[in-house]
Structure 1
């Protein structure tokens, strides 16, 4: 078989695979990028809704979630070319050119690794803790530069414990966060982790689990060890209850690539928006830090009809969520750090 014939055969195979896979990719991409709800993580208010459909052009976006397609296509092409030209490289001795190398086994094409964050703003975000950038400390609010550095370091540790610690994310943990709190805040936090045991009035129900990003047990595993992080921390002098101190504001996005345990075909992204305020002051000769608001920005891509503080991704095959049906208003961008806080279910533009 000539080189031209091989080229034609290659093109025909590529076109055949392209046509078949393009149809599959388009349908799957539409399923996986649309109808992802948003969940409110503040008090008992929940903001989840059917997500506005996101148009996905061609197969590129789908491959971000189905990298095995690339491996299948590469393997198919390699095998087909090998079958099409079994005699293209003869063995033995050619009288004009001398010895000809023996035929070697074709090397299969390795699957191309594509990030599950491809096609989203998160692709440009920092990986994990690198995204938790703290401002340069300086003396203010009655605290020294060293004390401000201490409270900023503790703020960063609280963010890590809330959103990046695997024990909190996937194993219902809470100790990494609780141990960073001031004693009185810790008592309140631990008491309200399971309010069903301590409160009879449903109106008083509030689980301090909402202060953490914790996926409900057995519902979620991470597609990759990488968690994308983007945002900022700012501080300024302040006074509270007659005390001078420093007010710290945090505003971050944490983007997770998740799936049902053992089911790679359910892969999707979840976007947690963490907004909070802390007040730091000197107490008994040391800097103390108290939470005033924490983890108030909401989570996109999860259901909202279960009010226990845990995050439950809204997979393509998840049962209907009644709260989604009630959602109204214009969709919001889950990657917008400056979006306004609202109550109830809310449309998003996807994750």
Structure 2
């Protein structure tokens, strides 16, 4: 059982002064001459039977006296409580004043995102991540876990495209996001075969660039533009949870198609494979635009996605390294790369266009 919280000395001193004053105020005082005269007159009237029975000792008087005594005691006790709380509000459990900073509110899940954010996530206590709590000190602690964070909107017909066609496009996009950013094999640096199979093989330029990046990565063929991959000889995930937040929307496309837009940020807690237990995080934001065209009107493969745009922005990874892997930086490791040339930015901020966050810079938090 924990000890009672210690009440500060200045609160006790104030309470003692107030109590002494109340005692002095309630002490018996010598009645005035007028009071003595009234009392003597009432005594003579009572002796002659001129006053109603029970005029001074009836139930109403007793109850009033009793209530006054009770409220006096409660008032003193309440005064002590109010004084203590005023000096040290943290003694009261929970978050009674709506400050929004209790540990419970800081870790409660956020509702599903229904509109693009206009600001960065709010600041959180700068706690150090651990193996037991790899998202400590991160706004992602309130984000969804893994696939649960990729919520497909309700499909409905748009501009000649049936609800079924819309639903197919949304589900294919969801699978592509999962296989590219959450699949354990992909994260371990394995070839993302399932993700590649969702793309139209007739879209030669995109597939060639991605496949070249997976086999011979360089600056112009970087698989990280589509896939999240870590070097298994360097780091591994800390736990089995990846946090993410974002949204998916759809509309009628230009090529008798359903066009889907996705904007998600994935947060990966990692630890080195050398036996140390320091945890850090890499934050990857992805913007993806795809279409599902009508195969009766265009030379496309039925049931395969056509990629219109795919961009990424990664926070807390070595810059200008093009070996096909993300390289998280740990605070205990002295940096060996050149100092970042770009501006400081918040990797959790999705309120700006992703194109403005692609320069290699310093992250304000991980």
The alignment's TM-score, normalised by the length of structure 1, stands at 0.61
Matched, 1:327 2:323: no
Which of 189, 198, 204 is matched with 1:180 structurally?
Answer: 198
Cα distance change of structure 1 residues 299 and 328 upon mapping to structure 2, 3 Å threshold: closer
Contact 1:141 1:245 in 2 (8 A): no
Distance verdict in 2 for CA 1:257–1:128, change over 3 Å: same
Q: Which residue of 1 aligns with 2:287?
A: 275
Structure 1 contact 304–321 (Cα < 8 Å) conserved: no
Partner Cα distance (1:300, 1:198) in 2 = 23
Residue 270 of structure 1, CA deviation: 1.3
Task: Kindly provide the CA deviation profile for residues 29-77 of structure 1, in whole angstroms up to 9, marking residues without a partner as x.
Answer: xxxxxxxxxxxxxxxxxxxxxxxxx9966xxx23x426xxxxxxxxxxx
Say yes or no: does 1:189 pair with 2:207. yes
Query: Alignment partner of 1:347: what SS?
Result: coil
* 1:276 positional shift: 1.2
| Alpha-carbon separation, structure 2, partners of 1:314 and 1:163 | 19
Query: 1:228·1:254 contact (CA, 8 Å) conserved in 2?
Result: yes
The CA RMSD over aligned residues, in Å, is 3.1
Q: Tell me the residue number matched to 1:24.
A: none
1:190-269 aligned within 5 A:
190=208, 192-194=210-212, 205-239=220-254, 243-269=255-281
Q: Distance in 1 between matches of 2:285 and 2:350?
A: 8
| Alpha-carbon distance, 1:261 to partner | 1.2
Provide the residue aligned with 2:143 in structure 1. Answer: 125
1:147 to 128, 141, 165: 165
Question: 1:189·1:208 contact (CA, 8 Å) conserved in 2?
Answer: no
Q: Which runs of 5+ in 2 are unaligned?
A: 4-122
Q: SS at 1:265's partner residue? A: coil
Larger Rg: 2
State the structure with bigger RCO (CA 8 A, min sep 6), 1 or 2: 1
Task: Please show how residues 91-102 of structure 1 align to structure 2 within 5 Å.
Answer: none
Aligned in 2, Cα 1:292/1:196: closer, same or farther, shift over 3 Å?
A: closer
Q: How far, CA to CA, are the matches of 1:254 and 1:310 in structure 2? A: 15
| Cα distance, 1:224–1:277 mapped onto 2, change above 3 Å | same
User: What's the secondary structure of 2:179's corresponding residue?
Assistant: helix
Q: Secondary structure at the match of 2:155?
A: coil
Aligned-pair CA distance for 1:138: 0.7
Distance in 1, Cα, partners of 2:224 & 2:155: 31
Aligned counterparts of 2:331 and 2:164: Cα–Cα separation in 1: 49
Matched, 1:338 2:356: no
Q: Does the CA-based 8 Å contact 1:273-1:299 persist in structure 2?
A: yes
Change (3 A) 1:190 1:165: farther
Change (3 A) 1:192 1:162: closer
- In the alignment of these two chains, the number of paired residues is 242
Q: Which runs of 5+ in 1 are unaligned?
A: 8-53, 67-113
> 1:292 — aligned with what?
308
Deviations 1:73-124 (A, max 9, x none): xxxxxxxxxxxxxxxxxxxxxxxxxxxxxxxxxxxxxxxxx42112211111
User: Structure 1 residues 194 and 280, CA, compared in 2 at 3 Å: closer, same or farther?
Assistant: closer
Q: Structure 1 CA distance, aligned partners of 2:284 and 2:184?
A: 15
TM-score (norm 2): 0.59
Matched position secondary structure for 2:305: strand
**Contact 1:245/1:282 (8 A) holds in 2:** yes
1:165 aligns with 2:179: no
Q: Aligned partners of 1:207 and 1:163: how far apart in 2?
A: 15
Q: Distance in 1 between matches of 2:205 and 2:155?
A: 30
Aligned counterparts of 1:280 and 1:55: Cα–Cα separation in 2: 40
